[in-house]
């Protein structure tokens, strides 16, 4: 397992480029399964989660090729085996979004039921409720969701809200299934995340008839057939937001290219409250810290609220603010594995239920820390860049799931991060002895 050694105290400067959005690319890869033929996706990030999803699609009988690092061809001319294997789904929960498209296209699908993960229980009951409303018969067998609609799906009015508001992948699943249903489907309380709007635009290019794109009220007129597509994935707002926070925590000034500020208004608002300047600049923005870091209260919410996927990174930032901040998690109430690790670096964080009281400290002190999930690892890398001394972040395979070559990108703008592997070191030592 690789780990990072991070030398703290370097300001980030100049320009960094954001890749296409992982969380848009994954459901869009699933959407191509609805279109008979070869689809081409552009600006697909080169990440381990994308590779795993590609394997899943190949297991269905649809060849996946990558003509270059950021382009992908999916040949969904035929789907031989509508089956989502436990071995893949257990590695990546987003695999569940093959359920809707395969049910619509093949009328029968089996997908392993995803389990919980380090950020919470993460049920899929709302996905199943929505698909049942479209006429699917669904039961569980040996840990697999078996969904059938032998005569095809039928449009319906569906309320997709749950205890934590809308569901991103639940909306993706039901929207994709409804594109081929007979008649009209109305989804109320649909997720409004830009990734869902991008998916809807991609489906419309394939021949679907979805209106209300980007709103909580989607109207889908079912069609008989969808074709292949050539689609460019939107920029990753979470990668962009992470770079913004990294610029500020190091007291630097960073220009972020391929960044859609419109998707980041809640984040920009918080950055300004904290003491940063954010200026639109070409196809992105320039972020800098002016003066000292000020505290701020943050509540994570569905889009356009503050994203849960930036909660950990902003906690690292506020750990260094002059005063107290309160962070409330309203999407994943248990998504706080980074709290204890940040406290090992001399942060002063106190968790109370689904909230964390952040008492700002003047400095963080380097320590060995353990990454627990994708965004927590980004927060630890940021803390390491701001800390005094050399921080070691273990289990960085988590970060490789969602950030393409993050250490290379950050090193190019002034960070000092070395990727190391304990086995490589051991091999070197053995070699030294002979």
Which of the stretches 79-87, 123-131, 244-252, 412-420 binds ligand EPU when contact is defined by CB under 6 A? 123-131
Tokens of 185: 């489907």
Active site residue 117: yes
Whether 233 contacts 41, CB under 8 Å = yes
Q: Whole-number minimum distance, CB 372 to ligand EPU, in Å? A: 12
Instruction: Answer yes or no whether residue 304 interacts with ligand EPU by CB under 6 A.
Output: no
Q: Does 56 contact ligand EPU by CB under 6 A? A: no
Give me the catalytic one of 97, 106, 117, 202.
117
Using DSSP's 3-state secondary structure scheme, residue 74 falls into strand
Rounded to a whole number of angstroms, the minimum distance from the CB of residue 126 to ligand EPU is 3
Return the structure tokens found at 167.
């569901």
Which residue, chain included where needed, has tokens 């950021």?
A: 70
Q: Is 36 helix (H, G, I), strand (E, B) or coil?
A: coil
Q: How far apart are CA 102 and CA 115, in angstroms?
A: 21
Q: Which stretch binds ligand EPU (CB under 6 A): 117-125, 205-213, 278-286, 416-424?
A: 117-125
Bridge partners (DSSP) listed for residue 357: 326, 350
Residue 268 or 367 having the CB closest to ligand EPU: 268
Taking CB under 6 A as the criterion, the residue among 95, 112, 167, 258 binding ligand EPU is 167
Secondary structure of residue 430 in the 3-state scheme: helix
Q: Which stretch binds ligand EPU (CB under 6 A): 11-19, 40-48, 157-165, 360-368?
A: 157-165
When the beta carbons of 160 and 180 are compared against ligand EPU, the nearer one is 160
Of the pair 126, 345, the CB lying nearest ligand EPU is at 126
Conformation bin of residue 405: beta by default, left when phi > 0, alpha when psi is -120 to 50 = left
Q: Does 124 bind ligand EPU (CB under 6 A)?
A: yes
Interface positions, 186-225, toward ligand EPU (CB under 6 A): none
Q: How far is the CB of 163 from ligand EPU (least distance, A)?
A: 6
Separation CA 125–CA 164 (nearest Å): 13
Residue 170 engages ligand EPU in binding (rule: CB under 6 A): yes
367 counts as binding ligand EPU under rule CB under 6 A: no
Q: Which stretch binds ligand EPU (CB under 6 A): 57-65, 74-82, 162-170, 380-388?
A: 162-170
Round the CA-based radius of gyration of the chain to a whole number and report it.
22
Binder among 80, 125, 322, 388 for ligand EPU (CB under 6 A): 125
User: Does residue 374 belong to the site contacting ligand EPU (CB under 6 A)?
Assistant: yes
Q: What is the C-alpha separation between 354 and 164, in angstroms, rounded?
A: 12
Work out the number of other CB atoms within 10 angstroms of the CB of residue 205: 17
408 to each of 2, 17, 380, how far by Cα in Å?
A: 14, 11, 16
User: Does the protein bind ligand EPU through residue 173 (CB under 6 A)?
Assistant: no
Instruction: Choose between 126 and 289: whose C-beta lies nearer to ligand EPU.
Output: 126
| DSSP string for 345-362 | TT-EEEEETTEEEEE--S
Two structure tokens written together for 165: 């508001």
For ligand EPU, the closer CB: 189 or 308: 308
Residue 287: which of 342, 247, 323 has the closest Cα?
A: 247
Q: Which of 16, 26, 99, 133 binds ligand EPU (CB under 6 A)?
A: 26
Listed ranges 57-65, 118-126, 384-392, 422-430: which one lies at the site for ligand EPU (CB under 6 A): 118-126
Q: Could you tell me which stretch among 121-129, 272-280, 342-350, 419-427 binds ligand EPU (CB under 6 A)?
A: 121-129
Q: Where are the alpha helices (DSSP H) in 117-236?
A: 125-133, 168-178, 194-205
Number of residues that bind ligand EPU (CB under 6 A): 24
Give the β-pairing of 83-84 and 108-112.
Answer: parallel
Q: How far is the CB of 181 from ligand EPU (least distance, A)?
A: 19
Of 20, 194, 241, 402, the one binding ligand EPU by CB under 6 A: 402
d(CA 393, CA 96): 30
332 lies in the site for ligand EPU, by CB under 6 A: yes
Closest Cα partner for 188 from 129, 263, 262? 129
Task: Verify binding: residue 185, ligand EPU, rule CB under 6 A.
Answer: no
Tell me how many degrees the CA angle 64-65-68 measures, rounded to the nearest 5. 145
Q: Determine the Cα–Cα distance for residues 45 and 150; give it in Å rounded to an integer.
A: 36
Among 11, 127, 237, 253, binds ligand EPU (CB under 6 A): 127
Non-local (6+) Cβ contacts of 434 within 8 A are none
Q: Which residues bind ligand EPU (CB under 6 A)?
A: 23, 26, 94, 120, 122-127, 162-164, 167-170, 308-309, 331-332, 374-375, 402
Positions marked catalytic: 117
């Amino acid at each position: 397992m690789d780990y990072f050694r991070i030398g703290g105290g370097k300001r980030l400067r100049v320009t960094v480029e954001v890749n296409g959005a992982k969380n848009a690319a994954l459901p869009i890869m699933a959407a191509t399964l609805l279109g008979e033929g070869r689809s081409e996706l552009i600006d697909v990030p080169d990440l381990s989660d994308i590779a795993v999803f590609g394997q899943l699609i190949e297991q269905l009988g649809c060849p996946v090729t990558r003509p270059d690092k950021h382009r992908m061809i999916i040949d969904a001319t035929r789907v031989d085996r509508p089956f989502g294997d436990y071995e893949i789904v257990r590695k990546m929960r987003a695999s569940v979004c093959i359920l809707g498209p395969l049910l619509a296209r093949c009328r029968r699908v089996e997908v392993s039921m995803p389990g919980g993960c380090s950020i919470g229980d993460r049920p899929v009951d709302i996905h199943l409720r929505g698909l049942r409303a479209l006429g699917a018969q669904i039961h569980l067998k040996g840990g697999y969701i078996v969904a059938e609609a032998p005569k095809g799906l039928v449009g319906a009015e569906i309320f997709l809200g749950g205890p934590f508001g809308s569901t991103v992948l639940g909306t993706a699943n039901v929207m994709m299934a409804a594109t081929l249903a007979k008649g009209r489907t109305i989804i109320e309380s649909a997720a409004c995340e830009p990734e869902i709007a991008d998916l809807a635009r991609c489906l419309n290019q394939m021949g679907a008839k979805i209106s209300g794109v980007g709103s909580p009220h989607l109207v889908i007129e079912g069609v008989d057939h969808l074709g292949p597509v050539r689609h460019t994935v939107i920029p990753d707002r979470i990668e962009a937001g992470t770079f913004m926070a990294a610029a500020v925590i190091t007291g630097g000034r960073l220009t972020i290219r391929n960044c859609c500020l419109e998707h980041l208004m809640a984040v920009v608002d918080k950055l300004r409250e904290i003491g940063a300047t954010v200026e639109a600049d070409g196809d992105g923005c320039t972020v800098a810290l002016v003066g000292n870091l000020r505290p701020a209260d943050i509540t994570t919410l569905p889009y356009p609220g503050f994203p849960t996927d930036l909660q950990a990174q902003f906690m690292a930032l506020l750990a260094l603010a002059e005063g107290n901040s309160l962070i409330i998690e309203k999407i994943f109430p248990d998504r706080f594995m980074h709290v204890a690790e940040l406290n090992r670096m001399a942060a002063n964080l106190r968790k109370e239920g689904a909230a964390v009281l952040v008492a700002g400290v003047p400095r963080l002190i380097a320590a060995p820390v353990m990454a627990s999930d994708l965004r927590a690892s980004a927060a630890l890398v940021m803390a390491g860049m701001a800390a005094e001394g050399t921080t070691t972040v273990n289990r960085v395979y988590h970060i490789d799931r969602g950030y393409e070559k993050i250490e290379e990108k950050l090193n190019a703008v002034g960070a000092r991060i070395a990727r190391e592997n304990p086995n490589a070191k051991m091999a070197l030592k053995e070699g030294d002895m002979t």
